[in-house]
Chain A
């Protein structure tokens, strides 16, 4: 039995999700969610879900309570109240309601908003699960599944072919044989795994702000890919003039200086793939973030490794150039030269935090 409160709760959820979707760009760029796992609930502030009333502001407000304490002793923090005292304005109010939502759901919204296509993984043929989908048609079934349009068409066809259809009295009479019903097909879903290799330039020009961008972007890439694959493995490489495989923690913490030799990272990536992820079984994703400042002749080496080693075996190779106050940022131009020949090479320039959202679309919008 459905209860009326379920209807109200469902409606509330719809409203919440609608508002979240509207402000998604803000939430995506917000660093707070990072480090959380997929199904975990995150609490996010959603504006304007409360019903506004005429009410007093905080200023001049107060109350009465009981307990010990001296006059002047703080007893509780006020709410942030940014309501633009004294100014005229058209901006809507900001009354906030905290709502809980899972990261999976946020990732779903993200993909709907960015129109991210679902990835079609390559992988083992081993059957993992069977699902029933209503995607076929049968001649018998319950009335609730009757496919009206098809039934009607069948009846019309039959009447025309038997000559019992009269255009001036266009009545279609459905007989038992005309009826068609929706039916399900059992779909077998193969298991597929993905490996993600994150590479980052940690030369002195990558400041904390740039790393924050990488961190946020990687987080959403992770969250998204986890939804697409049954199993996701991650590896991290940092590099300056030489490359090192590190754990996630170190990846985001390390700060070094010295020269930059990007090819060292690409070699490292190829090695890891060879060691852990045979391309026949794994969907491989490489993400490389740098400010684009590379050692002169090294760029040619990079292109070679990409062309002969990484691009042929990767689903995607994504290069994100994070704008930095230092450095030439030339590397993206070098990569640009070979981009036309390789569909799975994606380049994205990430100017600042606000650009993360669009950059995610650049990377994942290909459906590979």
Chain B
């Protein structure tokens, strides 16, 4: 396996790992075998740029990411302490330069992630052999580079990456025929029904009850009908969120392009659950590093620097949500509420503030509850289910919005309902717009028509225009997207040469 640095952990780190692993298991964490490697900062940045994997296909954006990480590190702006990949076994990377205390903290943190990867439902469909898969993808794309040249392949990858987020992360859990796993090349029409209306009959009467010439004529007219319908048909029948799949199945890509797009799609699906569970995953890992460190692993001498480093991890900033902090606090809140029995209809219906403040049924269900939460929720459902007005007030949460006239982001509200709505809004689909394929045969000319499900936030127009340019490289026919611009339903089009924005006409 190319991933291994082949460097055994230093004995003192190995001892810490064994100790913390045993402790984590004692607490009920359940993880795949976890292999730790020590890397220096350059290697760490490289791994981070590659999404944790030692081997990826060639592309400049990894270089850009690496460049940024190395620079912000050298300016002292940021530092990556650890990195874990969701595979079986799990691989985790520790920074050589970390102090021993940091290594402890990080190792405890890593076991939280590993447990989360293994048990959270949203990861249940991910490929746990992704290391091999990534290497395989790299090999395939390298082969295309050899055959078609770097620039050509790179340009195509750029176009694919531009739409890589147009997938449907929920589709991994829906079993529809022909939709699982790799998307195959479009195949011919499969409707091979007999056609004609055949009445039941005894064999010797058949030619009278079902005269062959009538049947044939009927069949022919049905075939013509179907052909007519097929010609003017718009598809898909229902709006389809997985735009990449739609292109793979219905587009006119070459074999190599088809393969590259399906690679980009596979990788997007692999990374999707991590985006959907960022708050929970970091919160869960932070919960466990805190618990294990404070109750078990810290020596007296380490307390102060531990507190310092931990608070650095969960520090808040005025214009950014810290997922570590929010996740950790919310899990703790849930634990406390379930320990004290602060849930259920009786609790919900209680209006007595004093009674609520001192409410303690001593149920002790907290730990059990948070294990359940980590199994079934993603960030959206986590916030939707467990964020409370009391929590928002206690943690001084607020929503903010962009003020057009001052050109500043401003605190918009401290009302629970607003905060929750805003938070859910920014978490849903990573705060990205919902885009669906409406028609793959728009105007009966094989043009691709997408629709942005408008919910009050307009698209960034320059990006939208450039994304259409890239989309057209994949679809190879004019592309359109319906959205709302300045309150007016509009369609942005790109025909391969120029953009056009027109008010949207309702289909007649």
B-binding residues in A (CB < 8 A): 3-5, 7-13, 15, 48-49, 51-78, 81, 83-90, 92-95, 97, 100
B397 & A64 in contact (Cβ 8 Å cutoff): yes
B496 interface residue (CB < 8 Å to A) = no
Residue B376 is within 8 A (CB to CB) of chain A in the complex:
no
Provide a sorted-by-A list of 5 A–B residue pairs whose CB atoms are within 8 angstroms: A53-B165, A62-B399, A74-B406, A76-B319, A83-B462
Question: Chain A interface: which of B84-92, B363-371, B428-436?
Answer: B428-436
Contact B50 A54 (CB under 8 A): no
B169 to chain A, nearest CB (A): 16
**A55-B460, A75-B319 given. 5 additional CB < 8 A pairs?**
A4-B55, A11-B63, A13-B63, A60-B402, A83-B461
- With A63-B426, A88-B501: A54-B63 Cβ-Cβ less than 8 Å: no
State in angstroms the CA–CA spacing of A277 and B464 once bound together. Answer: 60
- The yes or no answer to B407 lying at the interface (CB within 8 A) is yes
Distance between Cα atoms of A75 and B56 in the complex (Å): 39
Q: With A and B bound together, what is the CA distance between A13 and B407 in angstroms? A: 33
Contact of B319 among A65, A68, A88 (CB under 8 A): A65
Q: Is B467 an interface residue (CB 8 A)?
A: yes
Kindly list chain A residues whose C-beta atoms are within 8 Å of the C-beta of B465: 89, 92-93
Contact B411 A73 (CB under 8 A): yes
Contacts of A76 in B (CB 8 A): 318-319, 408-409
A53 and B481 CA atoms in complex are apart in Å by 13
List chain B residues, Cβ under 8 A from A100. Answer: 71
- Decide if B447 is an interface residue (CB 8 Å cutoff): no
| CB–CB B409/A78 < 8 A | yes
In the complex the two chains form, is A55's CB within 8 Å of B432's CB? yes
Distance (whole angstroms) from the CB of A86 to the closest CB of chain B: 5
Q: Which residues of A contact B412 (CB under 8 A)?
A: 62, 71
Minimum CB distance partner of A76 in chain B: B319
What is the CA–CA distance of A362 and B331 in the complex, to the nearest angstrom? 69
- Bound-state CA distance A54–B162 (Å) is 8
Q: Is the CB of B486 within 8 A of A53?
A: no
Task: Indicate if the CB atoms of A62 and B409 lie closer than 8 Å.
Answer: yes
Contact at A4–B56, with CB atoms within 8 Å?
yes
Interface residue range, chain B: 35 or more
Which of B431, B432, B458 has most chain A Cβ within 10 Å? Answer: B458
Most buried by B among A13, A72, A74, A78: A74
Which B residues lie within 8 Å of A84 (CB)?
A: 461-462
Task: Sort A-B residue pairs by CB-CB distance and give the 6 closest, nearest first.
Answer: A93-B462, A8-B63, A9-B63, A62-B401, A12-B63, A52-B466
Within the complex, which residue of A15, A65, A75 is in contact with B60, where a contact is CB–CB below 8 Å?
A15
B162 CB contact (under 8 Å) in A49, A53, A78: A53
Q: Is there contact, CB below 8 Å, between A7 and B58?
A: yes
Question: Are B433 and A9 touching (Cβ within 8 A)?
Answer: no
Q: 1/0 contact trace for B406-420 toward A, CB 8 Å?
A: 111111111000010
Inside 8 A of B397's CB, which chain A residues have their CB?
A: 64-66
Distance, CA A3 to CA B46, complexed state (A): 9
Contact with A along B440-474 (1 / 0, CB 8 A): 00000000000010001111111111110010000
Q: How distant is the Cα of A81 from the Cα of B461 in the complex, in angstroms?
A: 10
Residues on B with beta carbons closer than 8 Å to the beta carbon of A7: 58, 63
Inter-subunit contact A65/B318 (CB<8 Å): yes
* Complex alpha-carbon distance, A72 and B407, angstroms: 12
Least distance between B173 CB and chain A CB atoms (Å): 24
In the complex with contacts A11-B63, A74-B409, A75-B410, A65-B400 CB distance below 8 A: yes
When distances are taken between beta carbons in the complex, the residues of chain B under 8 Å from A86 are 485-486, 488, 501
Task: Given A63-B422, A71-B412, A76-B319, verify A85-B461 contact (CB < 8 Å).
Answer: yes
Bound CA span A72–B414, Å: 11
* Bound: A81/B463 CA distance, A: 11
Contact A85 B486 (CB under 8 A): yes
Q: Which residues of B contact A58 (CB under 8 A)?
A: 402, 460
* Assembly CA distance A95 to B64 (angstroms): 15
Closest to B435 in A: A54
* Assembled-state Cα–Cα distance A97/B61 (Å): 12
Among the interface residues A72, A81, A86, which one has the most CB atoms of the partner chain B within 10 A?
A86
Query: Taking the complex as formed, is B214 at the interface, i.e. its CB lies under 8 A from any CB of chain A?
Result: no
Residues of A within 8 A of B488 (CB): 86
Compute how far the CA of A78 lies from the CA of B409 in the bound complex, rounded to whole angstroms.
6
A51 and B402: CB pair below 8 A?
no
Measured CB to CB, the nearest residue on chain A to B501 is A88
Q: Verify A77–B407 contact, CB threshold 8 A.
A: yes
Interface centre among A64, A68, A78, A94 (most CB of B within 10 A): A64
Q: Are A67 and B396 in contact (CB under 8 A)?
A: yes
Chain A proximity mask over B309-322: 1 for CB below 8 Å, otherwise 0 = 00000001111111
Q: Would you call B459 and A66 a contact (CB within 8 A)?
A: no
List of B residues within 8 angstroms of A11 by Cβ? 58-60, 63, 150, 154
The answer to whether the Cβ of B404 comes within 8 Å of any Cβ in the partner chain is yes
Known contacts: A61-B402, A85-B485, A94-B462. The answer to whether A66 contacts B408 by CB under 8 A is no
The CA-CA distance from A93 to B467 in the complex, in Å, is 9
Contact between chains at B60 and A12 (CB < 8 Å): yes
Decide: B325 and A92 in contact? CB cutoff 8 A: no
- Residues from chain B with Cβ under 8 Å of A63 in the complex: 319-321, 399-400, 422-423, 426, 431
Which partner residue on chain B sits nearest A89 by CB separation?
B499
| B433-A5 in contact (CB<8A) | no
- B18 contacts the other chain (Cβ, under 8 Å)? no
A64 in contact with B499 given A11-B154, A75-B318, A76-B319 (CB within 8 Å)? no
Contacts of B459 in A (CB 8 A): 54-57
Of the residues A52, A56, A74, contact of B410 by C-beta under 8 Å: A74
Min CB gap A159→B, angstroms: 36
Complex contact A12–B408 (CB within 8 A): no
Nearest residue (CB) in B for A62 is: B401
Select which of B61, B431, B432, B466 is within 8 A of A95 by beta carbon: B466
> In the complex, how many angstroms separate the beta carbon of B72 from the nearest chain A beta carbon?
12
Whether the Cβ atoms of A62 and B318 lie closer than 8 Å is no
Q: Are A67 and B398 in contact (CB under 8 A)?
A: yes
Contact residue among B56, B395, B402, B499 (Cβ-Cβ distance under 8 Å from A66) = B395
Closest chain B residue to A49, Cβ basis: B64
B49 beta carbon closer than 8 Å to chain A: yes
Contact, CB under 8 Å: A60 / B457 = yes
Chain B residue numbers with a CB within 8 Å of A87 are: 501
Residues of A close to B106: CB separation below 8 A: none
CB distance from A3 to the nearest CB of B (A): 7
- Asked if B187 is an interface residue, CB under 8 A from chain A, the answer is no
User: In the complex, are the beta carbons of B402 and A5 less than 8 A apart?
Assistant: no
Which of B58, B317, B396 is close to A68, meaning CB atoms less than 8 Å apart? B396
| Contact of A60 (CB < 8 Å), options: B409, B410, B456, B502 | B456
> For residue A92, which residues in chain B have a CB less than 8 angstroms away from its CB?
462, 465-466
* Chain B residue nearest in CB terms to A60: B457
Contact residue among B55, B407, B411, B422 (Cβ-Cβ distance under 8 Å from A75) = B411
Given contacts A8-B66, A54-B432, is CB(A65)–CB(B316) below 8 Å? yes
- Give the Cβ gap from B424 to chain A, nearest Cβ, in Å: 9
Shortest beta-carbon distance, B98 to chain A, in Å? Answer: 21
Chain B residues near A78 (CB-CB < 8 A): 402, 407-409
- Interface centre among A10, A12, A70, by most B CB within 10 Å? A12
The residues of B that contact A48 with a CB separation of less than 8 Å are 466
Q: Is the CB of A59 within 8 A of B63?
A: no
Q: Nearest-CB distance from A123 to chain B (Å)? A: 38
Q: CA of A72 to CA of B399 in the docked complex: distance in angstroms?
A: 11
